Copies of this chain bind each other. A is one copy, B any other.
Amino acid sequence: MTSPRQLHLNAFLFGAGHHQAAWRHPDSPLEQLGDIAHWERLARTAERGLFDAVFFADGHSAGDVGDGPRWFLEPLTALSAIARATERIGLVSTVSATFWTPFHAARLLASLDHISRGRAGWNVVTSMFDAEARNHGLPGIPPHAERYARAAEFIDVAHRLWDSWSDDALVGDRHGLHADPEQVTRIDHAGEHFRVDGPLTVPRPPQGRPVLFQAGASGPGRDLAARHAEAVYAVAYDLESALAYRTDLLRRVAAAGRDPEGVAVMPGLVAYVGSTEAEARAKQAEVDALLPEEQSLAQLSAFVQQDCSGWELDAPVPELPPLERFTGPQGRYATILRIVAVERPTVRQLLGRLAAGGGHCTVVGTPEAVADRMELWFRSGAADGFNLMPPRLPESLDDFVDHVVPVLQSRGLFRTRYTASTLRGHLGLPRPGSGRPPGPVRPVRTARSPA
């Protein structure tokens, strides 16, 4: 008898929470964002909730620093510390294939996998801002196609570096060899973007390879995910779009010759949880009310390309032109049209929704209502799990762990204890084999340097 399929859950930890105004709340952890103990506490909360992993985004430019906290600790170093404050939960770091190089990235991720005893994950991104590129010597962000081509080669090199030490390479014979040179092989990669001889300096990671996450939205992004990703962070506003996304992605996975069972699709989920719906709505309204009105309306004006400064905050959103008549960036505008059509929000409510993962699945309600939505998406084939985006930290994460997780568990939808000790294990992913690269073995022989 095989165990029934269950949800996978990541806790996406970001700033003071995913709501742009979360940091303005009197109880926000604003003074603790550089304190690793704060992040350890959040990770332990997620571990108490038996989450598969904590998930860290990353960026390479400071952005508008007045407007709220964004980046602080670098995620690979932070997760190395968090690894020692937790025991089972996975640790997913975003690492940009555009700004890192594969030897560095593979090395730090392998090290994190050893430090955490097999709990490392890599969310590969290609980054998007000129300001980030200009911190790394580039005149601007490279074109989309170039970034994705580089990322594909980057992933290939990283995989080969992790495979450059076989599982049995460490012999540990005190009277003979420390490692078997025939099981530690060069990769001799010479591609369009990278030249890397290998092998890695780090013996094979406990998971073989850290788990590869990706958030493929565009066509090339989905194809990259289809070829390589083991879990996908998706953006889906409603069941229909989530189902369409997952169906398309798994079709591409199959077309790439991989088993669709080996890829967990995890849409973002913004949840405001209360013991009643009214209490949940009050929590949402409380943080929405912290948004600076003038600034939010100015941002909205840019999104809808008309002057919103005179809009009445507590009146319904005025009628907007249809998407086909809109000449600005489509994605965000489409989200706004959908929110307006489905939720009929006031202007203030729209600003709040946009300020907290507007394009993502958002649920405001009781634990049962949140679980209902998750169950519906899960049973409909729209999601294998969710990347929880708590609007306010730590409160929204506490609420979810304390109240939603027990409901999911009572429905048999979520684990009641960890049955594995690695992130691969939590996700039900196979461990890649010892990965001796095909072709003749090229043992490493170089002169030993002085210590």
* Residues in A lying within 8 Å of B, measured CB to CB: 14-15, 18, 20, 23-26, 28, 30-31, 34-36, 40, 57, 59-74, 76-78, 80-81, 83-85, 99-101, 103-104, 107-108, 110-112, 114-115, 128-129, 131, 134-137, 169, 172, 174-175, 177-181, 184, 194-203, 290, 299, 332, 356-359, 389, 444-451
A178 is contacted by which of B67, B77, B104, B115 (Cβ under 8 Å)? B67
A444 is contacted by which of B40, B64, B100, B104 (Cβ under 8 Å)? B64
| CA distance in complex: A141, B208 (Å) | 30
Interface pair A201/B131, CB less than 8 Å apart: no
A203 is contacted by which of B67, B72, B446 (Cβ under 8 Å)? B72
Given A60-B201, A67-B448, A114-B36, is A178 in contact with B84 using a C-beta cutoff of 8 Å?
no
14 residue pairs of the A-B complex, CB under 8 angstroms, read A14-B451, A36-B115, A62-B184, A62-B199, A66-B177, A66-B178, A66-B180, A67-B448, A73-B114, A129-B449, A135-B196, A135-B198, A136-B196, A389-B451
Q: Please give, as numbers and ranges, the residues of chain B lying within 8 Å of A137 by CB-CB distance.
A: 101, 194-196
| CA distance in complex: A84, B197 (Å) | 35
Copies of this chain, whole number:
2
Q: Which of A18, A135, A200, A357 has the most CB of B within 10 A?
A: A135
Interface pair B446/A131, CB less than 8 Å apart: yes
| CA distance in complex: A199, B70 (Å) | 13
Chain B: minimal CB distance from A174 (Å): 5
Q: Please give, as numbers and ranges, the residues of chain B lying within 8 Å of A134 by CB-CB distance.
A: 195-197
Given A184-B65, A202-B74, is A60 in contact with B448 using a C-beta cutoff of 8 Å?
no
Given A65-B178, A83-B81, A175-B24, is A103 in contact with B444 using a C-beta cutoff of 8 Å?
no
Chain B: minimal CB distance from A279 (Å): 23
Chain B: minimal CB distance from A262 (Å): 27
Q: Please give, as numbers and ranges, the residues of chain B lying within 8 Å of A446 by CB-CB distance.
A: 61, 63-64, 129, 131
User: Contacts A66-B177, A134-B197 given; 9 further ones with Cβ under 8 A?
Assistant: A18-B451, A59-B201, A64-B446, A69-B178, A73-B111, A76-B76, A77-B77, A101-B137, A174-B290
Residue of B nearest to A332 (CB): B450
Given A76-B77, A446-B64, is A71 in contact with B202 using a C-beta cutoff of 8 Å?
yes
Interface pair A78/B80, CB less than 8 Å apart: yes
Given A65-B169, A135-B196, A172-B31, is A108 in contact with B24 using a C-beta cutoff of 8 Å?
no
Q: Please give, as numbers and ranges, the residues of chain B lying within 8 Å of A447 by CB-CB distance.
A: 64
Given A81-B80, A197-B134, is A104 in contact with B114 using a C-beta cutoff of 8 Å?
no
| CA distance in complex: A73, B109 (Å) | 10
| CA distance in complex: A180, B66 (Å) | 6
Interface pair B73/A28, CB less than 8 Å apart: no
- Which 6 A/B pairs are nearest by Cβ-Cβ distance? A74-B111, A80-B80, A65-B179, A71-B201, A77-B80, A134-B197
Interface pair A115/B78, CB less than 8 Å apart: yes
A30 is contacted by which of B63, B178, B290 (Cβ under 8 Å)? B178
Q: Please give, as numbers and ranges, the residues of chain B lying within 8 Å of A76 by CB-CB distance.
A: 76-77, 108
Given A24-B174, A76-B77, A81-B80, is A64 in contact with B448 using a C-beta cutoff of 8 Å?
yes
Residue of B nearest to A206 (CB): B34
Interface pair B129/A60, CB less than 8 Å apart: no
Given A62-B201, A81-B81, A446-B61, is A107 in contact with B195 using a C-beta cutoff of 8 Å?
no
Chain B: minimal CB distance from A305 (Å): 15
| CA distance in complex: A446, B140 (Å) | 14
Given A103-B60, A445-B64, is A30 in contact with B174 using a C-beta cutoff of 8 Å?
yes
Q: Please give, as numbers and ranges, the residues of chain B lying within 8 Å of A63 by CB-CB distance.
A: 444, 446, 448-449
Q: Please give, as numbers and ranges, the residues of chain B lying within 8 Å of A110 by CB-CB distance.
A: 74
Q: Please give, as numbers and ranges, the residues of chain B lying within 8 Å of A81 by CB-CB distance.
A: 80-81, 83-84, 115
Interface pair A181/B65, CB less than 8 Å apart: yes
Interface pair A136/B103, CB less than 8 Å apart: yes
Residue of B nearest to A128 (CB): B449
